Amino acid sequence: MYYDLHTHTVWSDGELEPALLVANAAAAGVRVLALTDHDTMAGVGEAAGAAPGLGVQLIPGVELSVSWQGLTVHVVGLGLDAGNVRLCQALDELREIRIERGRAMVAALAAAGLGEAQSILERPGIVSRVHVADWLVAHGHAPDRARAFKRFLTRGAAAYVAAQWPDLPAAVGWIRGAGGCAVLAHPIRYRLSGGRLAQLVGAFTEAGGAALEVVTAGLDAGEIGRLARLARKYALHASVGSDFHKALPWRPRPGGLPELPGDCRPVWDGWPQIALQEIG
């Protein structure tokens, strides 16, 4: 796969440093790579520095946390101006939301008698529930990350703290204002009914969204086809991304995904400087 437009590094909840992510992607045959850490672009500079020597075109990106009708969804921004003032302000605001939620989760862990977890707040990147889950596993409170989430970090559990994320129009507006393309990430993962998913895609389109992530980790051919039809119905481009975080049996490495269906309009068609270059 030449394109992988959804990946993560240690600056959010990924496993690899940005330069190593680029190297892994290049080794997998990726030629156009987007770094889309959660609510931060701190790793983009390092990734962009490593990319040319490895034959990779680096797309500056981010994955924004968004609230829609009581549900947390993710919107990927691709091709962003990392110096855009309003986007930088928004990312600072999101970082503060995460810090405050992190403090509340650490306090909840202590109140539940699970121990002192202040170290979670001292990492250089963003603070997420993943880091709390990993702390719980490391301290013997759960056998793995999935069960740490289920026992302690889902709604109603001891360490669950809700976050007040920005709404869909605001997030899409920040992306567009920074010269980027807004992509609704992994739509199947929200486990919505057909009607409710259509409502989400419609709201995203109305807000100015440009693309649907049609190919991503964990989808079968039927689900990819369903998303391709939704993209066509709402006149959206289609994106592809591994959503790589770390090497796991059920999640592909960078580039380890099927191609987009032939009847989709690839999101990179809107990037002539990339779409027309020699990437073979």
* Angle, alpha carbons 20-25-29 (nearest 5°): 145
Residues 78 and 212 placed together within one structural domain of the fold: yes
Domains: count for the chain: 2
Phi, psi of 133 (to 5 degrees): -60, -45
Say if residue 171 is in the same domain as residue 239.
yes
In a domain, 38, yes or no: yes
The verdict on 176 and 269 lying in the same domain is: yes
Query: What is d(CA 162, CA 14) in angstroms, rounded to the nearest whole number?
Result: 22
DSSP result, 85-135: HHHHHHHHHHHHHHHHHHHHHHHHHHHTTS---GGGGGSSS---HHHHHHH
Whichever domain contains 224, its CATH number is 3.20.20.140
Position 168 in a domain: yes
Residue 235 domain-assigned (yes or no): yes
In this structure, the answer to whether residues 180 and 68 fall within a common structural domain is: yes
Q: What are the residue ranges of helices labelled H in the chain?
A: 18-27, 44-50, 85-111, 129-138, 145-148, 168-177, 194-206, 221-233, 272-275
Same domain, 27 and 135: no
The percentage of the chain sitting over the pLDDT mark of 90, rounded to a whole number, equals 88
| 263 secondary structure, DSSP code | T
Domain range for residue 51?
3-90+164-275
User: pLDDT tens-digit profile of 84-113?
Assistant: 999 999 999 999 999 999 999 999 999 999
Q: Are residue 10 and residue 85 in the same domain, yes or no?
A: yes
Six-digit token string for 248: 């796991």
Same-domain check for residues 177 and 146:
no
Contact 172, 209 (CB under 8 A): yes
In a domain, 203, yes or no: yes
Proportion of the chain above pLDDT 70, given as a percent? 94
- What tens digit of pLDDT does each residue of 28-74 get? 899 999 999 999 999 999 999 999 999 999 999 999 999 999 999 99
Helices and strands (H and E) in the chain: how many? 9, 7
Among candidates 72, 74, 163, 161, which has minimal Cα distance to 117? 161
pLDDT in tens, 132-183: 999 999 999 999 999 999 999 999 999 999 999 999 999 999 999 999 999 9
Tokens for 30, please give them: 């990726």
Indicate the average pLDDT of the chain.
Answer: 93
State yes or no: pLDDT of 256 exceeds 80. Answer: no
Q: Which of 43-47, 240-244, 255-259, 262-266 is least confident?
A: 255-259
Instruction: Tell me the pairing of strands 32-35 and 57-68.
Output: parallel
Task: Please report, for residues 84, 182, 189, 242, the alpha-carbon distance to residue 259 in angstroms, rounded to integers and kept in the order given.
Answer: 32, 20, 19, 11
Which pLDDT score, from 0 to 100, does residue 272 have?
53
Cα gap 3→25, rounded to integer Å:
10
Is the pTM higher than 0.75?
Answer: yes
Give pLDDT, residue 257: 85
In a domain, 280, yes or no: no
- Is 158 among the domain residues? no
pLDDT reading at 252 higher than 80: no
Looking at the fold, whether 7 and 85 belong to one and the same domain comes out as yes
pLDDT given for residue 248 in this prediction = 62
